[in-house]
Amino acid sequence: MQVGIEAIGMYTSNYYIDLKTLAVHRNEDPNKYYVGIGQEKMAAPPPDEDIVTLAANAAREALTDVDSYAIDTLLFATESGIDQSKAAGTWLHRLLDLPKNMRVIELKQACYSGAGGLMLTLPYLMQHPERKILLVAADVARYGLDSAGEPTQGAGAVALVLSAQPRLLAFDSTSGLYTEDVFDFWRPNYRDEAFVDGKYSVKIYLRALASAWNQYCHLTGRSYHDFDRFVYHLPFSKMGEKAHAFLVKHAGFGDLPEEEWKDKIQDAAVYQRIIGNTYAASVFMALVSLLECSTVDLTGRRVGLFSYGSGCVGEFFSGVVLPGYQQYLKVEAHRRLIEERQELDYAAYSDFYTYKSNLPTDGTPVVTPKYRTGGFRFAGIKEHKRLYEVVD
């Protein structure tokens, strides 16, 4: 029996800032971002957009031709939590009019939580092949204005319908794991923005990759050449090159020509370069990018995926692309979404950013201004309750 992705949806903000605009504001060379970290643009969510609205738009797309009454579980992976108790998925459940007889859970382990949730669903679906699971990963990456991490912000969501009737990709059941208690990226409850030790985080990322890869290869007997493509968690697109160069050498193929090993990762970084960091959704956004941007028919090809979440947990897992997968992609819709985004100048971007930071915490009612947010919007706050509405 195969279990995997039956349907997939993706969404990002209708607004962005070009990193050359950020470079001018910071009196820096744009190539520091364009070339140095491989980033060109980053999504900038307006005041009435957050993880719930991003996720709702992605999930609605994923559910377009799926029997939602077969879904009995909604997993919402995020590190941009909006409530300490109430799961963000409960708002999503109402906005999408999902069945009442289902469980809804929010998952957290930095950027890894989506992949962790995915791997937990596989044995459940093997035991209950008549059921489906909706897994949504959504985040708004925030490091602070004028901070070192600011150029690696972004926002977006990916929704996967997982089932025993996969149409796009079937996952292998075995993976490699790594966990270590470290502080490379963390956000205390009293903070709106994360702390990050960038160089240390890259070091731990690579350590987790090596260990998870070693366990995966030991358990499966597979090696580097069993994979046609690799998909990495991408806080910035150059991280994929750094990780894959490291893996190629670690796997004993350091003499491979650069163009040969880069060919295995480039299509997965296309969306990252123009959307930015999406934290828990990052590895899935990279997978969507690979499937939609590759000019090669990937049918029957095995893809290796590595998810890393600071703090830290890493997992290397894999899947095989299924025949006919192209007909279930939303390539044209995603092209329009990205191309029709509105570019912001620095002042507008800064206003968007600081609006969230300045939301009252004393119960004062808030009515958010209206912007383009797809089919759903964050309408405001009343009596300490966040309010959402369907707009189309």
As annotated, the active-site residues are 79, 111, 233
Instruction: Please tell me the distance from the alpha carbon of residue 259 to that of residue 244, in angstroms, as a whole number.
Output: 12
Sequence-distant (6+) residues with CB within 8 A of 263 are none
Structure tokens at 137: 């990963």
Outline where the chain has alpha helix (H).
19-25, 31-34, 51-62, 88-95, 113-127, 198-220, 237-250, 258-262, 270-275, 282-293, 331-339, 346-357
| Residue 212 CB-half CA count within 13 A | 29
Backbone angles phi, psi at 134, to 5 degrees: -100, 115
Instruction: Please tell me the distance from the alpha carbon of residue 199 to that of residue 3, in angstroms, as a whole number.
Output: 37
Structure tokens at 392: 């189309």
Q: What is the DSSP string of 36-54?
A: TT---EEE---TT--HHHH
Instruction: Please tell me the distance from the alpha carbon of residue 365 to that of residue 383, in angstroms, as a whole number.
Output: 7
For CA atoms 320, 325, 329, 331, the dihedral sign is positive
- Cα angle at 213 between 210 and 216, to 5 degrees? 155
Instruction: Please tell me the distance from the alpha carbon of residue 197 to that of residue 151, in angstroms, as a whole number.
Output: 15
The gap from C-alpha 10 to its chain's centroid, in whole angstroms, comes to: 9
Outline where 295-381 has alpha helix (H).
331-339, 346-357
Nearest by Cα to 174 from 230, 227, 226, 215:
215
Sequence-distant (6+) residues with CB within 8 A of 268 are 229, 230, 231, 232, 234, 240, 286, 287, 289, 290
DSSP 3-state helix, strand, coil percentages of the chain (rounded to 5)? Answer: 40, 25, 35
Q: Strands 169-171 and 15-18, how do they pair?
A: unpaired
